[in-house]
Structure formats: C-alpha cells, structure tokens
Copies of this chain bind each other. A is one copy, B any other.
Amino acid sequence: MSPKITTELLKQLRQVMKNPRYVQEPVQAYIVPSGDAHQSEYIAPCDCRRAFISGFDGSAGTAIVTEQHAALWTDGRYFLQAAHQMDSNWTLMKMGLKDTPTQEDWLVSVLPEGSKVGVDPFIIPADQWKRMSKALRSAGHDLVPVKGNLIDTIWTDCPQRPCKPLITLDLSYTGVSWRDKIVALRSKMAERKVMWFVVTALDEVAWLFNLRGSDVEYNPVFFAYAVIGMNTISLFIDGDRMMDPAVREHLQLDSTLEPEFKIQVMPYGSILSELQAVGTGLSPKEKVWLSDKASYALTEAIPKAYRYLTPYTPICIAKAVKNAVETEGMRRAHIKDAVALCELFNWLEKEVPKGTVTEIVAADKAEEFRSQQKDFVELSFATISSTGPNGAIIHYKPVPETNRTLSVNEIYLLDSGAQYKDGTTDVTRTMHFGTPSAYEKECFTYVLKGHIAVSAAIFPNGTKGHLLDSFARSALWDCGLDYLHGTGHGVGSFLNVHEGPCGISYKTFADEPLEAGMIVSDEPGYYEDGSFGIRIENVVLVIPAETKYNFKNRGSLTFEPLTLVPIQTKMIDVNLLTEKECTWVNEYHQKCREVVGAELERQGRHEALAWLLRETEPLARVQ
C-alpha cells in the first residue's frame, strides 16, 4: 500500500478555505468527519470525503486541515493502516493513547488567535458540534457551518449518490409490520410528550418501514429520512424507487388507509426545508424528538426550546431487541454461514500447502461459498483476509499491493460475514495450516480464554455491556498483553453489522443495558505488529441464565453463541485452559457438530462435514 499523495489536494483545499465563493469568511481550519449526513459508519463512495483528502480509507477517522497542518484522528484498529495510507503531509493522531491530544486541544494549540474553524453542518453530528464549538469558543475561536462541502468543490470526479431499488420484507422476516412499529413508536412519543420524531439514521428508516436497499455497500440501507408525527408519516426518498409496485403495495401507498398511516413521499433533498417548516409552526409543548447524533443542520432546523434530544432513539432501542422471528432468522443465517466456512476451511487446508492461495483468493472463495447459501444478499463488510504481519492490521482489507500468499508458516486471520435476507453474520477465525509456535499458541489461548470469559459470563439483568469488557482482557493482562479495540458491537438483523445501542467496550459508558434478545459480537484479539494477528469472534445472543440465587428475582442473563464455526484446536495450548474452559470448548464444538453437521449433511457437503468432524474432536486436558 503506497500512501496517497495529497500535496496538491491540500493546496486546493486551503485555497477554497479562503475563497469567498465558498466561504462567507475565510476559515483557518476545516474539519472533515468520517460520516455522511446520516452519521453512518459505512458510507457511499460519494461520501468518502475524508478518504479522498487524506488517503486513509478505514471506517473511522476525522481529518482536520489548517493553513499549516493536516492531522487525522483514528483508533487502535487503524493505526497501522492509516500510517501506510497517508503521506508525510499528514500527522496521525492515535486515539486512546495517553499523549494524543483531542481534536479540540490540538486545534487550540495550532490555531492563530480568533480563528474560524469550518465544517459541513450536514456531516457533523449535533453533539459533536456542541462539544467542539464550546471548546473552541472558550479558547477564543469559532466553529462555523460552511454550506456546501469544501471537499466536494475540489473533488472533480466525485461519484454520484446511489439510488438503487428497494427490497420489501414481509412478516416472515420481520415479525412485526411497519404499521405496528409506527404504533409502538407513537406510544413512546406520547410517553415522552413529543409530537414529532425525525428518523435520521439510515438503518432506522429501513427497520421502521421493513424495507432494505443497497445504496451503501455491505449495509442494506437506502438514502432516506422520515418524519413521524402523531397523525402523519413523511418519507423523504429520491428516484423512481417508489414506482416499484412491490414497494407501493408494501407501504400501501395506493390503498385507502386511516390517515395516520398514510405515507407522504417527498424528495430526499427537501428534508431541511420541510423540517424548518415544522420548526416554525410549532406551538408551545410541541416537542420534536431527534437523536443527539443527528446532523447539526437538521437539529438547528428545530428551535432549541422545542428539541427533545436523546443519545439513543426509541427505534434504535426497539431494533436492538430482536423478536422471535428475527432471532430464528439470525440462527438460520448463522448455520448457513457456518456451512460456507466449513467448506472454505476444508478447501484452504488442501490448497494452502500448494502456495497458490492469496489473501484475495481466500476472501473470494469465502464469498463464493456464502453466495451458494439460500437468501444470500451480499457480504456484511469488506472481508478481512490477512496472513502473517497483515493480520496485525486490525481492519485490514487485502488489495493487490499488499496481497500475501497463505502458507503453512504463518497465522491466517479471516474476519468476514454476510447479509442474508434472514440475518446478518460476522465471524472471525484464526488458523494455522502448519505448526504454530508455542508463543502463537500461548497468545491464541489467552484470547480464547477472554472470548470464553465473556461468552460464558453470567450477569444481572440490566447490566451494561461495557462492564463485561475487562473479562475479555483478564487472561491477556495477566501476561502483560492487551488489544486496542473494544470487545463487541451490536449486530443488526439483515441490517448494519455494527449497530447501537449496546456493545461490549471499555470506550463507552452510555450504552444501554443488555437485555434478552439483544445480539452482540464477542471478539477479543491480540496483535503483534509486523508478525501476526489473532482474533476469535462469535456473534452471541443475550438469553436468560439459570443461577442458583437469580439476583433476588432481578433475573440473570448470559450469552448463547449464534456463530457455530469450529475454533482451531491446533492453536490451543490446552494446559493453559481451566477445566471449565475446556468443557466450554468441547460443548461448543459438540453443538457445531450437531447443528452445522446436520445442515452439511442436508446440503450433501460430505467433505466439509468430514472436516467439521475432524476439527471438533474433544480437547483432552493433561491433569
């Protein structure tokens, strides 16, 4: 991977930062956040402005360009990748390390007195605006909204905003109709005494209307906003997507409906003016509910006194708790996904020794096996297929320049997943196709111990996921090892592979308490820069647990792995496992055998079945 040369681009950006055609007043710094107008994590090519200006194309990061400096903030997953992709114009700011300044502190330290800092008000979330604006103001600077994105003005070959056809999902996939979801939402609105709810996150629009799209790669969403009133529904969406008879039928656009379920379809671009109209027409006590992560532009459309902002919307919270139909769909999706991976690993075991399998070949093969499964739609994120030192780049994606050949001498890490119409998968396995070193096995076993510690954890109902994060690290910490990422994220149901409001991370505190039906990943790791990466990831479902005393009837929770793919026993130093951990592995593998074995049998995949049976032989601990 050679870095992107940005000298000319930065020069152009610095010119438009002073050009009265684009800015009311010159700005001394310009912030380029990662997201789009919906604060999406994964974004369409036309929204990849931070990657365009900096060269760094990981999923998280913020670029700031001043007259003299250019700096990029990203987290531990991306330190290596960002260092590789950016040229010397850029300073990498490693978030999470003690000496790294915050964006605000850095700006204050480099800006001349009384500076203006510009940002696109549609791209910056309102909560970030507020924090940044306050910090800058207290140091004598101003954060100013720059209408019209400055990156777009210098991005001559910027791609078009996608506008692809929609998929409708019936009750057999969703369990609840969109009308019932609207009813539930309005009841939450009534509880909080708000009259309007503005849906700004793409996955929330998709979930609410039981629709899916493909405007953003890997995330089955489509560009849209919605405004739900107590008696009205407005959907802001472009293109002829609303001409599709299946969609019209699904949304009952041509039926005679009670007026409160009649959907008014409006152009995507009209959201701001429509919201401003709502904002000016409000009477006292007519509150408007928005996420505090909605864009500054939309938030400002509602006068401050009428805003009701929360970190998580009622849709976000309802979406996180999967109903029985969704949970069954997720189970089915994970069994199919396991079938594909058994095929892949069996194939790799035969092919890797020949020296012909590269990271890209392996990733393509994984996609091929997945695409053979029923209801497969697309991958759920760019496959991380990495061997040897590439494995230490936490969110690595193989490209021709870095593409390495798998061998019997290096660890191979595959983090991949798919979107099926019945569910979303995300699984990481770390394998060795030769003989792992004692050190590699030691590190793998600590990671496995952490994985089990979370997966088997029992905790009282209402516990927040971040309280479980340290369980995943304890075995590593004992030996002076750690990993610089969170342990788990929420997973959507045929939706975004990363979703809120729950997760397992030392980095958040405002996560919602875990409850039965929520689905998260459990993925501790260990990374040795320049050598190898290890991660073991299952998607797990929060379920009630049986405990001796049941927290005085408060209720007990634990996790059930939905992912059912063997964990390579060759990599385990059995003597480092406790008896309980050993039993966990054996019971997990027994379940893989039974459940995935039956499906492999049903699909007539006998060679992969034989591989599964070989890989799930019980571990025996030396006493």
Chain A interfacial positions (CB closer than 8 Å to B): 98, 138, 140, 284-285, 305, 307-308, 457-460, 462, 464, 467-471, 473-474, 477-482, 506, 509, 513, 547-551, 554, 556
In the bound assembly, the distance between CA atoms of A547 and B481 in angstroms comes to: 9
A480 & B308 in contact (Cβ 8 Å cutoff): no
B471 & A458 in contact (Cβ 8 Å cutoff): no
- Complex contacts, A551 vs chain B, CB 8 Å: 480-482
B305 & A479 in contact (Cβ 8 Å cutoff): no
- Complex contacts, A473 vs chain B, CB 8 Å: 459
* Distance between A579 CB and nearest chain B CB, rounded to angstroms: 11
In the bound assembly, the distance between CA atoms of A479 and B467 in angstroms comes to: 17
In the bound assembly, the distance between CA atoms of A68 and B294 in angstroms comes to: 39
A474 & B471 in contact (Cβ 8 Å cutoff): yes
- Complex contacts, A479 vs chain B, CB 8 Å: 547-549
B548 & A467 in contact (Cβ 8 Å cutoff): no
* Distance between A325 CB and nearest chain B CB, rounded to angstroms: 27
Nearest 10 pairs between A and B by C-beta? A480-B547, A509-B509, A480-B549, A480-B550, A479-B548, A467-B470, A480-B551, A458-B477, A459-B477, A480-B556
In the bound assembly, the distance between CA atoms of A423 and B83 in angstroms comes to: 49
In the bound assembly, the distance between CA atoms of A548 and B308 in angstroms comes to: 51
In the bound assembly, the distance between CA atoms of A307 and B135 in angstroms comes to: 12
A98 & B285 in contact (Cβ 8 Å cutoff): no
Contact of A481 among B284, B477, B549 (CB under 8 A): B549
- Complex contacts, A554 vs chain B, CB 8 Å: 482
- Complex contacts, A462 vs chain B, CB 8 Å: 98
In the bound assembly, the distance between CA atoms of A554 and B305 in angstroms comes to: 47
- What are 5 A-B residue pairs whose CB atoms fall within 8 Å in the complex? A98-B462, A460-B480, A460-B482, A480-B549, A481-B549
B470 & A458 in contact (Cβ 8 Å cutoff): no
Q: A467-B470, A470-B470, A471-B470 are in contact. Are A547 and B478 (CB under 8 A)?
A: yes
- Complex contacts, A547 vs chain B, CB 8 Å: 477-480
* Distance between A28 CB and nearest chain B CB, rounded to angstroms: 18
- Complex contacts, A556 vs chain B, CB 8 Å: 477, 480
Q: Nearest CB to that of A557 among chain B residues?
A: B477
Known: A479-B547, A480-B550. 13 other contacts (CB 8 A): A98-B462, A138-B305, A457-B474, A457-B477, A458-B477, A459-B477, A467-B506, A470-B470, A470-B471, A477-B556, A479-B549, A480-B548, A480-B551
* Distance between A94 CB and nearest chain B CB, rounded to angstroms: 13
In the bound assembly, the distance between CA atoms of A56 and B477 in angstroms comes to: 43
- Complex contacts, A478 vs chain B, CB 8 Å: 458, 547
* Distance between A507 CB and nearest chain B CB, rounded to angstroms: 10
Q: Nearest CB to that of A306 among chain B residues?
A: B138
B138 & A308 in contact (Cβ 8 Å cutoff): yes
In the bound assembly, the distance between CA atoms of A131 and B513 in angstroms comes to: 22
A469 & B467 in contact (Cβ 8 Å cutoff): yes
Q: Nearest CB to that of A549 among chain B residues?
A: B480
In the bound assembly, the distance between CA atoms of A264 and B460 in angstroms comes to: 55
* Distance between A471 CB and nearest chain B CB, rounded to angstroms: 6
Q: Nearest CB to that of A308 among chain B residues?
A: B138
- Complex contacts, A307 vs chain B, CB 8 Å: 138
In the bound assembly, the distance between CA atoms of A284 and B114 in angstroms comes to: 12
- Complex contacts, A470 vs chain B, CB 8 Å: 467-468, 470-471
